[in-house]
Chain A
């Protein structure tokens, strides 16, 4: 029987913990000592003006960007950025954090089915049949079963993004990171993607979402994190922050976004 004590979701009460994360490109500081905790099963929306460091923070969480300093812990997989990072330590961390990009980043030379099955075969060691079964199950859930044999270029942006979500989910991540998942989509197509994300949230997936969709941030997320100038300036209950922002910088940002 699996011991409850080893289950990271019940012991730590944090799915993601970022501690004193710092990152600079030369003289340009992108993240200054950012710390953030995300409870399991919650949705955290990261908002803020462009250049605030939201995407960089997210990309540092699975080490697509190498932070200069700080610790990252995702579901008990811990990495200290100031030390050398081995591929062996990186693999489990990336496996437990699925990532969805603004531009989908599918493999254009593979069919939709291969896009979702290949990572399962290579990373989880599933057989092709097992992987394909899992892929088809996820595609059906996304309403895209008929696209399995197509190439990504034959799918709309909204479909490609849902395929990318399926590809990440197929590896059974414990946390999903979304980097502006609807920013490259037309608003009516973005809705398809937001619907899928809402379902995921309702299923209890831990999600961190960098977004400009204020409706999603306010209504779907459990925690709103406002970033500006490389730091977190405010965080808490989304409705409260939207209604009554404490920080002048938040007020300015919300005014600019809502008056658009």
Chain B
């Protein structure tokens, strides 16, 4: 037990620095991922063939290929095509791809679940198709998808630990390198796990709270 406290004192700052990078990675891939997810969600249901096929391609690969494979592909694979990215950039790109693919499906489901009556209401008023999407379907669809999206954000935060494999100095790789210098792998992985949990568990509660709150206005 003492070794855990000693390790917290010795490696705490390094681990928290790693956590910051994990959170940055989560935030960026969520940000870009959400924007792309909305585009893909509209794309996979679009009547425009090129748009539909491109979106379907990215969504299917993003969900079909493991995040670890995409990470390695971006970092170790792309240099063969003369594209060299930093470890953080390649990790952000790979996780954005995975995130956008999964979230596109949640958003598509949310958009499809918007009650037809609301869309008809907008149409009957004479609102244009774009306005109906912008003011009714998308805000309502995102609201419906929000609890699932928040749940996915927690998974994505945990998935950033995969980035240790492409040398991003995030929480997992900090724990790993601290372990390799102290040989207390057990306590360091327990500490790292506890830090992941300390973020993930309240975030999950939050998503449940949001779900309950939104249910009132649906």
Interface residues of A (CB under 8 A from B): 62, 64, 87, 90-92, 94-95, 98-99, 101, 103-109, 118-119, 122-123, 151, 153, 164, 167-168, 171
Binds A, one of B21-29, B46-54, B98-106, B113-121: B113-121
A87–B128 alpha-carbon span in the complex (Å): 8
A104–B124 alpha-carbon span in the complex (Å): 12
Interface residue tally for chain B (C-beta within 8 Å): 21
Q: What's the count of A-B pairs with C-beta under 8 Å? A: 68
Asked if B118 and A122 make an inter-chain contact with CB atoms under 8 angstroms apart, the answer reads: no
A112–B136 alpha-carbon span in the complex (Å): 14
Chain B's nearest CB lies how many Å from the CB of A106? Answer: 7
Q: What A residues does B66 contact at CB under 8 A? A: none
Q: Chain B CB within 10 Å — which of A64, A91, A122 has the most?
A: A122
Asked if B120 and A64 make an inter-chain contact with CB atoms under 8 angstroms apart, the answer reads: yes
Q: What B residues does A95 contact at CB under 8 A? A: 126
A108–B139 alpha-carbon span in the complex (Å): 10
Asked if B118 and A107 make an inter-chain contact with CB atoms under 8 angstroms apart, the answer reads: yes
Known: A105-B118, A107-B122, A168-B125. 13 other contacts (CB 8 A): A64-B123, A104-B121, A105-B121, A107-B118, A108-B140, A109-B217, A119-B125, A119-B126, A122-B131, A123-B125, A123-B127, A153-B217, A171-B125
Contact with A along B169-212 (1 / 0, CB 8 A): 00000000000000000000000000000000000000000000
Partner of A109, one of B128, B131, B139: B139
B interface, by DSSP: helix, strand, loop or mixed?
helix
Asked if A109 and B143 make an inter-chain contact with CB atoms under 8 angstroms apart, the answer reads: yes
Does B129 lie at the interface of the complex (its beta carbon under 8 Å from any beta carbon of A)? yes
A109–B129 alpha-carbon span in the complex (Å): 18
Asked if A91 and B118 make an inter-chain contact with CB atoms under 8 angstroms apart, the answer reads: no
Interface residues of B (CB under 8 A from A): 117-118, 120-129, 131, 135-136, 139-140, 143, 216-218
Q: Chain B CB within 10 Å — which of A91, A92, A103, A108 has the most?
A: A108
Can you spell out 8 A-B residue pairs with CB atoms less than 8 angstroms apart? A92-B126, A104-B121, A108-B118, A119-B125, A119-B126, A123-B125, A153-B216, A171-B125
Partner of A171, one of B126, B143, B217: B126
* CB-CB nearest 9 A-B residue pairs: A105-B121, A94-B126, A99-B124, A105-B117, A95-B126, A119-B125, A122-B131, A123-B126, A91-B126
A171–B140 alpha-carbon span in the complex (Å): 23
Partner of B125, one of A94, A103, A109: A94
Chain B's nearest CB lies how many Å from the CB of A74? Answer: 12
